[in-house]
Amino acid sequence: MRSIDSTFTEEKNSQSNQPIFLYSIFNYDGASTNLYFADYSEDVTYDGQVYTKFPISHDAVVEDTTGEISSVSVTLANVSRLIQAYLENYDFNGKKVYITLVWGNQLDDTDAYLREIFYIDSYTADQNNVSFTLTSKFDVLSLQLPARKYSRNYCGFKFKSTECGYAGAESTCNKTLTRCRVLANSGRFGGFPSIPSQRIFVS
C-alpha cells in the first residue's frame, strides 16, 4: 500500500490545479548520465532537478488484483530525431525509468508526489514517434532478445574484439561507421547501414 502525502491528496481532488508528469531515464549511456523530461508547456524544476519540456506521454498505469503492473507504453515525439539519435548510439534495454506525478503549484513540496519505477523492456522508433515498453519487473535485465541492437550508424562490437577485428595502433573508437572507415576496418563494421534512415528497429 502506497503512502501518499496529504498535500498530494488535496491537490488530486482540486479542480483548479493540473497534474504534471515527470520522466527520468537513468544511466542511459552506461556512465551515470540521465535524461529528464516533463509533459508540460515549459521546463519544470522539481527537487533540484530540471525536467525539459518535451512531447511525451504514457498509457494509464493499471495494477492487477495483486498490485502488480504488467507493462506501460511511453511515447516521445521523434520529429526532431533527438531521441532516435540516443537510440542509435546507446542501448536503452534494462534502464531504470521513473514516472513521477507532481502538481504545478506544489513544486516546492518534495513530498507531494506519486512515483512509479519501471525498467525498459523494448523500444521502437519511426519518423514520428519513439515508443518504450516499460515493465515493473527487474528481471528484464536478465535476458535480452534479440541479443543485438540493430542500428544504422553505431557498431555493437567491442573495440578490438574478435568480432571487430581491428588490430592497429589506435586505442579508441566511437563505434561510428565514419570512424570505422578512417581505421580502414569498415568491412567488419557491426552496424546496419542499409536500414532506412526514416525508421530503426530495436528491441
pLDDT tens digits, 79-95: 888 888 888 888 898 89
What percent of the chain stands above pLDDT 70?
Answer: 73
Report the distance separating Cα 4 and Cα 166, nearest Å: 55
Domain boundaries, the chain: 6-144, 148-203
Q: Which CATH code is given to the segment(s) 6-144?
A: 2.40.10.10
Grid cell digits, residue 119: 525498467
Maximum C-alpha span of the chain: 66
Closest to 117 measured CA to CA, from 98, 103, 145: 98
Contact (CB, 8 A) for 94 and 140: yes
Which residue has better confidence, 153 or 58? 58
Q: Are strands 19-25 and 96-103 parallel, antiparallel or unpaired?
A: antiparallel
Question: Residue 36 above 90 pLDDT?
Answer: yes
Mean pLDDT of the chain: 79
For residue 113, how many C-alpha atoms fall within 13 Å in the half-sphere facing its CB? 19
CA angle 66, 26, 198 (to 5 degrees): 100
pLDDT of 70 > 50? The answer is yes
pTM of the model: 0.61
| Confidence band for 31, pLDDT divided at 50, 70 and 90 | confident
Please list, in sequence order, all residues whose beta carbon lies within 8 angstroms of the beta carbon of residue 10, skipping any fewer than 6 positions away. Answer: none
